[in-house]
């Protein structure tokens, strides 16, 4: 076995060991959980408060305004009618695995508790007392179950949960996640008041025993695995490793990743350029009505600004570069680009760099540092002065090095050499800082692999700490 | 966890102060300033006005003056809008509370239903009363005023900035004086000034020093360009690394391997790319003469076409148009690392004998230089990116540091324009050196001798000439 | 004609932008020009995509070596472009649910966001992270203390590398903070180097570059430097 | 082949492996133990904090996020801490990006900090995301005098006229400070040249290690606060974390009925030594406090800082080991170089 193979083996080996260790310990890794819900909206007429007197903006006539509101908001409850236009789609919110785990533990505890029937007599007369006793007993049991779950279970028995009377709202939601007491209380409160918590979940007292039943047959779990994002995460991890594989040797995997990044980035820039710049800033000026009506309804409608035909034409000329003929026309646009940047930079560099840097360097060579009691601190003054003198000498010497009209001989040569020393120290500092930056970037990538993908570490407390440590030891 | 805005606090404080002032003012208010005149600040960039007034005679315990200005139209609109909004909101809340109370207490409606019905009634109340709400619009002289600034007692002039050049303003001034019991009192409002529009004038005088310095530097460059054009010789010091170009190209020819030329990853609007393309012209010419293959992957499509034209004319100049292959000069991607990945892959695959990195580089400098090093290529780099220089210095055989790169481009082109402008820039450096030495010495002298006039001179120079 | 028009465009645009700095009345002209510049810059992204398409289509049709990778480039390019341009899978803006194209294409959860989050981001970030490895390799093989200049460079780098971590503090923590030699503590020393030597060196570089940029800009605006139009003259 | 030759021809992949381990192992160790190295803020990081702290609450801060995922490792923690300080202080934040991917950086940092820890901030009143605009320095140059020209809408497609906090914003001059997180061009240098210098506005720059040395000459005239590389981020992060904790304790103390001067003094004391808070509440002076406020105070004192606000400080661990490795590699490389050269010379 030669050294190359050994290196490869070491690198691959480390990752394989990590992967295997993760795969066989804990409760899986590299998954993304989301909470699914409904985003539904309704168009209603609401009163307008803040229009200045006498100004009747469009759609704001008669002190009312047509607007879309969230279907669960107060406005929707008040003003929505049966015929009001409605729209809805699925909303997806990512949740950390911890929320999912906690919800699972809570639900298991709750389920275990709810399955325990109340043993004593439960008649209509002292139903309240009986319920309370039962509630406490169930809570105790639920707590015991939850306490025994140092390791969160990953499998959720949805059928059992349904039987236990769970609807999406009362059981597994990010908000109630982990708090089974609240869920249990909600059911009992409902039971005390009406004997019914909602249309589907029923608390029944029969034969002296209390049970929770449900008639709902398709309870959709709110929190669950997101396949698209989980696949995405694994893809990201594979791409990360594919790029790292170039460190060993150029290989097809790397070349594939390379091609992907070329294709994706070019398209990404195009899309962003179109939606963030061309549509609002160019089309929004040339065809404000169309843009406002179809693409950016929030844009204030105004009259077309025909001056923007100029950049449109320049843009079109630039694209002539792709055409088989008339490519020279794109030089016109290039001329515009070059002229703009040259002029912008000429003024800004002279003002912001040239003058301001001279300004910052001009200071007394003798710097007086005064103590709190008003006396001059000789020691500090000395060093402050040395500092200023060094700075001025450094600037002058480096400028001499960049002086091209004179050969570097004699006195000029000596000063230029001092300048080189200053430059080398400058480059050394740049080197140190650059190393610093690069390592931080690598650390961030490793954090992605170890944290998001392998779930080896958990600095953001997204999963329970027990899971992370248990897989290593 | 937001702390209450201190703006509110200041406002309420101000109101309290005003009340206090009004109360004490009822006894013996000091006289208001007279002759309040407002004028547009001449020769500025717009948005500034000067207010002057006459200090009233014989005011006991004169503290200073308060300058107020009128609201602009947009300020009025938004204030009025806010006031109306608040008033309507109050009406709505009141109507809701009344109706809810009535429904629950009198009609015995269930709370949920009551709340719904009450909201509908409240909504109707807003619609009904929307025209009856008229916000206040008062102040002295029938206007609404905004406090600009408070100035000391010996001041009779205030320059007001941060105005909108498209709005008209009037000003008025209050006298503020101390009362005998230690309080503060304010005079009645002065007569308001005439209308002033703080327009921009033809020339912004504050920026004139910048203009002159720009003209001086540009003049030096132009002078030496014409000096050089007239045929007078311009010497440029030897630049180590340039002589290596021929050597590198020669070696590529010997080994039969290609030359890789990377003109940076910025577009043609970056001057380093322009310099890189200039150097490319020279390298391509040498390559054409030696019959070496030169490959130029670019990160911008514009750079690609510029490079194609440059290389084409180089081949033309070398009389080798037959050997010119535009396909070797091509666009890869705009994306920095997409490009780097491609270029470093290319180095590994094609093993060029010589690599040139001339232009604007960022993080890819190290990857390219290190990869080039690993295939044993002669590497010559030139960039003005200070952050990338340490890596080129370390990993390449020759490096053109910063301005040296531009100088090299001038030197290689041999054009009088380029050389002349280099000389002109050197003049700029002489000016910098002189200003620095003189400036520091005068500043030192000012500190050591404690001379006020010297100190003022330095401050004036730094304040108005060097920071236009 | 081919050369004259661009030269005039450059000169006029440049002149307008420069005078707009000094004549407030012309400021709005400068604003217009810079806004147009931004739009053209966005069009340049389109040009970039178009050029990429052209290059790789040619590669595929010529069956150049590695044309299969060009297929991947084209495939990912068109897929990303499609989900982005047509806002596939994007829910409308909650404030305007009746306008189907009003949605935010970059919003979390959209297919375009997915491409960003799971393809673009890991790939570009990892490419950058590779620099840490190259820098280590360069440290071992390339940074030689060949001469005095190189010693200065490396020595400074050492001080910065140590001074900017806990190691520097640990190594020189025995030097009293308020004593006369406190400046020799590594963390102090690294600050001193940055604020004096580094500032001096960079200041000279900055001043030189500013002069160079002013000179070159002038030549470009006056039509003396036409290299951006391709060719030397 | 002897040892020196073998070392001189060492396959660079071994060095890659060493670097990988030097970074990877500390990450795992720190990730499991949760311990970070102590940070002492340098004057530059403190200055960055002070500029934002000295502004009145409600000040308008332009947050220019000019970076991409490639530099997120360095700049992400700075962005997080900038937002945290501004949100805690009650500043109004205006986010813009000059890098195409910067828009995503704005989204991720705001959703992490504002979404996760300051949910009571209202979009459009306390912060607004104006998104990406193409044009590099031309964007800055334009908005110095006219903001709406480039930004007719925010990133969500709402007209700026309909956004409450955009009222009174007509140009960059209306902002109180500019905060920039920058990974290159366009970035901090452009903000210095085109905005901070002509407008003389306070500018705080958080930049990558690569840029930091070039930004030093601008301090303190053109740049008021400079955070360079992950070290700058870690220092600033620790300053902000300490301040936020003492602010929260201050709230708890004030709501518990401790008078204002006493509570600010106490908050500073407890922030320096959190364990003191739990013992102090038993003292007589604490008797005035309500039990809820007491519990809250102890909770605040003993609660760990959330993981996302320790990102930079955690990364200082791998940083330390990797720096030592780099120094070792340079020394080893030179030792081999001189050893071979000497031998070569004697032949």
Note the pLDDT tens digit of each residue in C44-83: 999 889 988 988 898 899 887 778 989 999 999 999 999 9
Provide, as residue numbers in chain D, all residues whose Cβ is less than 8 Å from the Cβ of C39.
134-135
In 3D, which of C82, D78, C117 has the Cα closest to residue A94? C117
* pLDDT band per the 50, 70, 90 thresholds, residue A134: low
D105/D47 same-domain check: yes
In 3D, which of A268, A308, A273 has the Cα closest to residue A287? A308
Per-residue pLDDT, B187: 83
Do residue C194 and residue A429 have CB atoms under 8 angstroms apart?
yes
Q: How far is CA A165 from the centre of its chain?
A: 35
- Rounded to the nearest integer, the mean pLDDT of chain B is 83
Give the structural domain span for D205.
Answer: 43-239
Do residue C42 and residue D146 have CB atoms under 8 angstroms apart?
no
**pLDDT per residue as tens digits for the range A267-317:** 999 999 999 999 999 999 999 889 888 888 888 778 899 999 999 999 999
Hey, where are the domains in chain C? 143-233
What is the rounded average pLDDT of the residues B312-330? 90
Per-residue pLDDT, A347: 92
Q: When comparing pLDDT for B59 and C77, which is higher? A: C77
Per-residue pLDDT, D8: 75
In a domain, A471, yes or no: no
Q: Whole-angstrom Cα distance, residue D22 to residue C134?
A: 14
Return the partners of chain A (3 or more C-beta pairs < 8 Å): B, C, D
Residues 6+ apart with CB under 8 A from C16: A343, C26, C29, C30, C33
Which chain C residue lies closest to D21 (C-alpha atoms)?
C133
CB A44 within 8 A of CB A76: yes
A240/A215 same-domain check: no
A367/A435 same-domain check: yes
Q: Per the omega criterion (within 30 degrees of 0), is the bond before D236 cis? A: no
HSE at residue D333, side-chain half, CA atoms within 13 A, is: 22
The helix-helix angle for B208-229 and C199-221 (nearest 10°) equals 70
A102/A72 same-domain check: no
* Residue D170 touches chain B, beta carbons under 8 Å: yes
In a domain, D18, yes or no: no
For testing contact with chain C, the best of B276, B337, B364 (most C CBs within 10 A): B337
- In three-state secondary structure terms, D188 is helix
D284 CB burial (10 A radius; 0-12, 13-18, 19+): exposed
Q: When comparing pLDDT for A192 and A102, which is higher? A: A102
In 3D, which of A244, A262, A264, A263 has the Cα closest to residue A254? A244
What is the rounded average pLDDT of the residues B379-389? 87
Provide, as residue numbers in chain A, all residues whose Cβ is less than 8 Å from the Cβ of B333.
262, 265-266
Residues 6+ apart with CB under 8 A from A34: A92, A93, A94, A95, A223, A224, A225, A226, A229
Q: Residue D158 forms beta bridges with which residues?
A: A298
CA distances for A255 relative to A259, C49, C126, D18, D25, angstroms: 6, 20, 14, 25, 29
D99/D204 same-domain check: yes
D47/D80 same-domain check: yes
Asked if residue B278 has pLDDT above 50, the reply is yes
Q: Whole-angstrom Cα distance, residue D295 to residue D288?
A: 13
* Residue B142 touches chain A, beta carbons under 8 Å: no
Residues 6+ apart with CB under 8 A from D254: D260, D263
Last residue of a domain, one of A254, A284, A304: A304
Per-residue pLDDT, B3: 42
CA end-to-end distance (rounded Å), chain D: 16
Do residue C200 and residue A282 have CB atoms under 8 angstroms apart?
no
In a domain, D72, yes or no: yes
A118/A202 same-domain check: yes
Do residue B162 and residue D173 have CB atoms under 8 angstroms apart?
yes
CA distances for A355 relative to A90, A350, A359, B455, C206, angstroms: 58, 6, 6, 19, 11
Do residue C39 and residue D134 have CB atoms under 8 angstroms apart?
yes
What's the domain count of chain A? 4
Residues 6+ apart with CB under 8 A from A139: A113, A181, A184
A140/A217 same-domain check: yes
What is the rounded average pLDDT of the residues B354-367? 89
* pLDDT band per the 50, 70, 90 thresholds, residue B28: low
Per-residue pLDDT, A200: 43
A1 CB burial (10 A radius; 0-12, 13-18, 19+): exposed
Measure in Å the smallest separation between the Cα of D40 and chain A Cα atoms: 17
D78/D156 same-domain check: yes
Residues 6+ apart with CB under 8 A from B203: B43, C22, C23, C24
Q: Whole-angstrom Cα distance, residue A147 to residue A135?
A: 18
**pLDDT per residue as tens digits for the range D179-208:** 999 998 889 999 999 999 999 899 999 999
Q: How many CB pairs under 8 A join B and C?
A: 161
What is the rounded average pLDDT of the residues D284-294? 75
A56/A115 same-domain check: no
Long-range contacts of A462-467 (CB under 8 A, 24+ apart): A462/A96, A462/A97, A462/A98, A463/A96, A463/A97, A463/A98, A463/A101, A464/A98, A464/A101, A464/A152, A466/A150, A466/A151, A467/A26, A467/A27, A467/A101, A467/A151, A467/A152
String of DSSP letters for C42-76? HHHHHHHHHHHHHHHHHHHHHT-TTHHHHHHHHHH
Asked if residue D170 has pLDDT above 80, the reply is yes
Per-residue pLDDT, A183: 53
Per-residue pLDDT, D121: 92
Q: How many CB pairs under 8 A join A and D?
A: 198
* Residue D69 touches chain B, beta carbons under 8 Å: no
D137/D191 same-domain check: yes
Q: Whole-angstrom Cα distance, residue A180 to residue A185?
A: 8
Could you say which of A77, A321, A427 has the minimum Cβ distance to residue B301?
A321
Asked if residue C230 has pLDDT above 90, the reply is no
Residue A289 structure tokens:
């009505």
What is the rounded average pLDDT of the residues D212-235? 92
**pLDDT per residue as tens digits for the range A198-231:** 444 444 443 334 444 444 443 445 677 889 999 9
Per-residue pLDDT, A163: 42
Q: Whole-angstrom Cα distance, residue A191 to residue A199?
A: 12
In a domain, D192, yes or no: yes
Asked if residue D319 has pLDDT above 50, the reply is yes
- CATH number, domain B6-71+143-186, options 3.40.640.10, 2.30.42.10, 3.30.365.10, 2.60.40.10: 2.60.40.10
Per-residue pLDDT, A169: 33
D283/D318 same-domain check: no
DSSP state of D162: G
Q: Whole-angstrom Cα distance, residue B451 to residue B102?
A: 82
* pLDDT band per the 50, 70, 90 thresholds, residue B7: very low
CB D327 within 8 A of CB C186: no
* Percent of the residues in chain A that have a pLDDT greater than 70, as a whole number: 68
Do residue B274 and residue C212 have CB atoms under 8 angstroms apart?
no
In a domain, A335, yes or no: no
Per-residue pLDDT, B83: 81
In 3D, which of D346, D326, D337 has the Cα closest to residue D19? D326
In a domain, A13, yes or no: no
* Percent of the residues in chain C that have a pLDDT greater than 70, as a whole number: 96
Do residue A348 and residue D213 have CB atoms under 8 angstroms apart?
no
Q: Residue B176 forms beta bridges with which residues?
A: B64, B186
In a domain, A466, yes or no: no
For testing contact with chain A, the best of B436, B437, B450, B459 (most A CBs within 10 A): B436
Measure in Å the smallest separation between the Cα of B132 and chain A Cα atoms: 10
In 3D, which of C121, D208, D337 has the Cα closest to residue A265? C121
The sign of the CA dihedral B332, B336, B341, B346 is: positive
Which chain D residue lies closest to A5 (C-alpha atoms)?
D13
Q: When comparing pLDDT for B263 and D260, which is higher? A: B263
Asked if residue B405 has pLDDT above 70, the reply is yes
- β-pairing, B62-70 vs B145-152, is antiparallel
D266/D171 same-domain check: no
Which chain D residue lies closest to C150 (C-alpha atoms)?
D334
Q: How far is CA A187 from the centre of its chain?
A: 36
Q: Whole-angstrom Cα distance, residue B372 to residue B366?
A: 10
**pLDDT per residue as tens digits for the range B238-251:** 777 777 888 899 98
Residue D211 structure tokens:
């840029």
Specify the CATH architecture of the domain B244-414: 3-Layer(aba) Sandwich (3.40)
Count the Cβ atoms, other than its own, within 10 Å of residue B423. Answer: 23
* pLDDT band per the 50, 70, 90 thresholds, residue C231: very low
Per-residue pLDDT, A112: 59
Per-residue pLDDT, A175: 31
Give the structural domain span for A415.
Answer: 363-448
- In the sheet that holds B378-383, the strands lie side by side as B329-331, B294-298, B259-262, B354-358, B378-383, B398-401
CB A429 within 8 A of CB C163: no
Q: Per the omega criterion (within 30 degrees of 0), is the bond before D186 cis? A: yes
* pLDDT band per the 50, 70, 90 thresholds, residue D240: very high
Place of tokens 């279907």: A71
Residues 16-55 of B with CB under 8 A from A: none
D231/D281 same-domain check: no
Asked if residue A472 has pLDDT above 50, the reply is no
A171/A87 same-domain check: no
**pLDDT per residue as tens digits for the range C181-228:** 777 788 888 888 999 999 999 999 899 889 988 988 898 899 887 777
Q: Whole-angstrom Cα distance, residue A443 to residue D313?
A: 12
What is the rounded average pLDDT of the residues D293-302? 81
Interface predicted TM-score (ipTM) of this complex, two decimals:
0.85
Asked if residue C175 has pLDDT above 90, the reply is no
Per-residue pLDDT, A204: 44
* Percent of the residues in chain D that have a pLDDT greater than 70, as a whole number: 97
What's the domain count of chain D? 3
The values of phi and psi at residue B385, to 5°, are -90, 105
Residue B36 structure tokens:
């309040």
**pLDDT per residue as tens digits for the range D103-155:** 999 999 999 999 889 989 999 999 999 999 999 999 999 999 888 888 988 99
**For position D81, which CATH number holds?**
3.40.50
CA end-to-end distance (rounded Å), chain C: 15
Do residue A433 and residue D209 have CB atoms under 8 angstroms apart?
yes
């Amino acid at each position: 076995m030669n050294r190359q193979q050994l290196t490869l083996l070491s690198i691959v080996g480390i990752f394989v060991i990590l992967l295997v260790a993760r795969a066989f310990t804990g409760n899986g890794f590299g998954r993304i959980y989301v909470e699914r819900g409904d985003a539904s909206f309704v168009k209603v007429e609401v009163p307008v408060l803040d229009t200045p007197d006498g100004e009747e903006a469009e759609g704001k006539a008669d002190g009312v305004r047509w607007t879309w509101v969230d279907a669960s908001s107060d406005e929707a409850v008040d003003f929505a009618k049966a015929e009001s236009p409605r729209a809805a789609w699925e909303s997806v919110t990512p949740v950390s695995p911890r929320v999912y785990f906690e919800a699972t533990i809570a639900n298991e505890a709750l389920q275990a508790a709810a399955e325990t029937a109340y043993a004593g007599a439960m008649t209509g007369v002292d139903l309240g007392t009986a319920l309370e006793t039962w509630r406490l007993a169930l809570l105790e049991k639920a707590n015991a179950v939850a306490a025994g779950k140092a390791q969160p279970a990953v499998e959720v028995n949805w059928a059992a949960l349904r039987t236990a009377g769970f609807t999406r709202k009362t059981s597994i939601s990010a908000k109630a996640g982990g708090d089974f007491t609240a869920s249990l209380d909600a059911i009992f409160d409902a039971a005390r008041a009406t004997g019914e918590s909602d249309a589907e979940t029923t608390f029944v007292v029969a034969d002296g025993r209390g049970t929770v039943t449900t008639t709902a047959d398709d309870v959709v779990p709110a929190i669950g695995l997101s396949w698209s994002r989980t696949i995405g995460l694994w893809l990201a991890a594979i791409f990360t490793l594919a790029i790292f594989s170039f460190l060993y040797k150029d290989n097809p995997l790397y070349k594939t990743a390379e091609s992907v990044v070329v294709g994706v980035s070019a398209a990404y820039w195009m899309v962003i350029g179109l939606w963030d710049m061309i549509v609002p800033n160019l089309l929004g000026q040339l065809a404000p009505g169309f843009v406002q009506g179809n693409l950016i309804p929030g844009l204030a409608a105004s009259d077309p600004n025909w001056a923007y035909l100029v950049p449109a034409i320049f843009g079109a000329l630039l694209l002539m570069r792709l055409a088989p003929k008339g490519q020279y026309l794109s030089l016109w646009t290039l001329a515009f680009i070059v002229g703009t940047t040259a002029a912008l930079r000429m003024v800004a560099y002279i003002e912001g760099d040239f003058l301001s840097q001279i300004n910052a360097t001009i200071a007394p060579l003798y710097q007086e540092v005064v103590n709190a009691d008003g006396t001059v601190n000789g020691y500090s003054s000395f060093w402050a002065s040395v500092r200023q003198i060094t700075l001025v000498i450094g600037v002058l010497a480096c400028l001499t090095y960049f002086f091209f009209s004179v050969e570097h001989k004699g006195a000029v040569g000596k000063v230029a050499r001092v300048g080189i020393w200053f430059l080398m120290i400058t480059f050394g500092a740049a080197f140190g800082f650059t190393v610093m930056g690069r390592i931080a970037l690598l650390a961030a990538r490793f954090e992605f692999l170890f944290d998001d993908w392998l779930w080896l570490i958990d600095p953001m407390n997204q999963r329970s700490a027990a899971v992370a440590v248990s897989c290593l030891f | 966890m937001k702390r209450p805005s201190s703006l509110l606090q200041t406002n309420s404080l101000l109101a309290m102060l005003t009340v206090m002032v009004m109360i004490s003012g009822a006894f013996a208010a000091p006289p208001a300033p007279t002759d309040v005149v407002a004028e547009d600040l001449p020769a500025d960039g717009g948005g500034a006005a000067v207010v002057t007034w006459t200090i009233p005679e014989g005011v006991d315990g004169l503290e200073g003056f308060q300058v107020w200005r009128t609201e602009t139209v947009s300020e009025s609109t938004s204030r009025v809008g806010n006031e109306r909004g608040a008033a309507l909101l109050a009406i709505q809340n009141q109507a809701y509370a009344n109706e809810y109370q009535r429904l629950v207490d009198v009609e015995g409606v269930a709370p949920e239903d009551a709340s719904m019905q009450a909201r509908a009634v409240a909504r109707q109340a807003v619609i009904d009363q929307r025209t009856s709400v008229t916000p206040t619009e008062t102040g002295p002289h029938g206007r609404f005023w905004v406090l600009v600034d408070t100035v000391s007692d010996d001041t009779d002039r205030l320059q007001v900035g941060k105005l909108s050049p498209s709005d008209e303003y009037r000003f008025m001034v209050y006298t503020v004086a101390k009362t005998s019991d230690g309080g503060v009192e304010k005079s009645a409002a002065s007569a308001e000034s005439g209308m002033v529009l703080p327009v921009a004038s033809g020339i912004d005088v504050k920026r004139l020093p910048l203009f002159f310095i720009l003209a001086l530097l540009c003049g030096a460059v132009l002078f030496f360009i014409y000096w050089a054009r007239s045929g007078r010789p311009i010497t440029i010091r030897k630049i180590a690394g340039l002589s290596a170009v021929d050597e590198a190209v020669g070696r590529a020819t010997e080994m039969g391997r290609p030359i890789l030329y990377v003109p940076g990853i910025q577009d043609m609007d970056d001057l380093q790319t322009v310099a890189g393309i200039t150097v490319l012209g020279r390298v391509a010419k040498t390559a054409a003469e030696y019959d070496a293959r030169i490959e130029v992957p670019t990160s911008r499509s514009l750079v690609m076409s510029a490079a194609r034209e440059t290389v084409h004319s180089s081949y033309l100049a070398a009389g080798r148009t037959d050997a010119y292959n535009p396909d070797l000069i091509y666009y890869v991607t705009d994306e920095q690392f997409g490009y780097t990945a491609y270029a470093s892959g290319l180095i590994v695959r094609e093993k060029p004998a010589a690599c040139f990195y001339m232009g604007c580089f960022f993080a890819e400098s190290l990857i390219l230089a290190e990869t080039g090093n690993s295939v044993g290529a002669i590497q010559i780099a030139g960039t003005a990116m200070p952050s990338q220089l340490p890596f080129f210095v370390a990993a390449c055989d020759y490096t053109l540091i910063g301005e040296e790169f531009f100088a090299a481009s001038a030197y290689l082109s041999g054009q009088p324009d380029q050389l002349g402008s280099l000389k002109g820039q050197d003049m700029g450096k002489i000016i910098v050196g002189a200003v620095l030495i003189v400036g520091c010495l005068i500043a030192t002298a000012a500190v050591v001798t404690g001379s006020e006039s010297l100190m003022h001179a330095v401050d004036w120079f730094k304040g108005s000439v060097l920071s236009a | 004609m081919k050369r004259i028009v661009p030269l005039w465009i450059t000169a006029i645009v440049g002149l307008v932008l420069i005078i707009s700095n000094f004549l407030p009345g012309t400021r709005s002209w400068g604003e217009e020009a810079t806004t147009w510049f931004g739009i053209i810059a966005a069009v340049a992204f389109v040009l970039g995509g178009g050029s990429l398409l052209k290059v790789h289509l040619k590669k595929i049709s010529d069956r150049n070596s590695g044309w299969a990778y060009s297929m991947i480039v084209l495939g990912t390019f068109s897929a990303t472009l499609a989900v982005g341009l047509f806002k596939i899978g994007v829910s409308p803006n909650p404030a305007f649910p009746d306008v189907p194209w009003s949605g935010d294409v970059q919003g979390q959860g959209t297919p375009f966001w997915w491409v960003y989050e799971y393809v673009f981001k890991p790939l570009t970030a990892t490419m950058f992270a590779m620099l840490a490895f190259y820098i280590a390799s360069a440290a071992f093989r390339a940074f030689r203390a060949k001469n005095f200049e190189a010693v200065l460079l490396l020595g400074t780098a050492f001080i910065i590398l140590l001074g900017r971590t806990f190691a520097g503090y640990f190594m020189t923590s025995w030097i009293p903070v308020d004593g006369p030699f406190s400046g020799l503590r590594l963390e102090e020393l690294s600050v001193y180097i940055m604020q004096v030597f580094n500032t001096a060196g960079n200041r000279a570089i900055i001043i030189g570059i500013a002069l160079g940029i002013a000179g070159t800009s002038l030549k470009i605006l006056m039509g003396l430097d036409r290299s951006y139009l391709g060719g030397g003259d | 082949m002897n040892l020196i030759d073998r070392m001189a021809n060492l396959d660079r992949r071994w060095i890659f492996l060493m670097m990988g381990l030097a970074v990877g192992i500390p990450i795992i160790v720190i990730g499991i133990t949760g311990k970070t190295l102590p940070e002492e803020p340098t004057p530059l990081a403190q200055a960055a904090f002070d500029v934002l702290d000295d502004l009145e609450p409600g000040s308008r801060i332009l947050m220019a996020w000019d970076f991409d995922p490639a530099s997120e490792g360095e700049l992400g923690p700075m962005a997080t801490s900038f937002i945290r300080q501004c949100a805690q202080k009650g500043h109004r934040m205006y986010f813009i990006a000059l890098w195409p991917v910067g828009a995503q950086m704005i989204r991720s940092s705001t959703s992490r900090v504002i979404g996760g820890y300051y949910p009571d901030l209202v979009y459009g009143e306390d912060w607004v995301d104006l998104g990406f605009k193409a044009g590099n320095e031309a964007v800055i140059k334009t908005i110095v005098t006219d903001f709406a020209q480039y930004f007719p809408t925010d990133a969500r497609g709402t007209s700026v006229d309909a956004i409450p906090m955009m009222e009174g914003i007509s140009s960059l001059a209306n902002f109180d400070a500019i905060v920039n997180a920058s990974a290159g061009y366009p970035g901090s240098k452009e903000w210095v040249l085109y905005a901070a210098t002509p407008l003389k506005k306070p500018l705080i720059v958080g930049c990558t290690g690569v840029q930091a040395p070039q930004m030093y000459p601008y301090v303190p005239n053109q740049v008021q606060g400079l955070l360079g590389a992950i070290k700058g981020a870690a220092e600033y992060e620790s300053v902000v974390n300490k301040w936020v904790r003492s602010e929260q304790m201050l709230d708890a103390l004030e709501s518990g009925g401790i008078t204002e001067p006493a509570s600010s003094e106490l908050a500073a004391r407890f922030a320096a030594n959190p364990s003191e808070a739990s013992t102090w509440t038993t003292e007589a002076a604490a008797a005035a406090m309500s039990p809820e406020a007491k519990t809250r105070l102890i909770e605040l004192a003993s609660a760990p800082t959330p993981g996302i606000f320790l990102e930079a400080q955690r990364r200082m661990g791998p940083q330390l080991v990797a720096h030592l490795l780099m120094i070792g590699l340079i020394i080893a490389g030179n030792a081999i170089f001189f050893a071979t050269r000497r031998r070569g010379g004697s032949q």
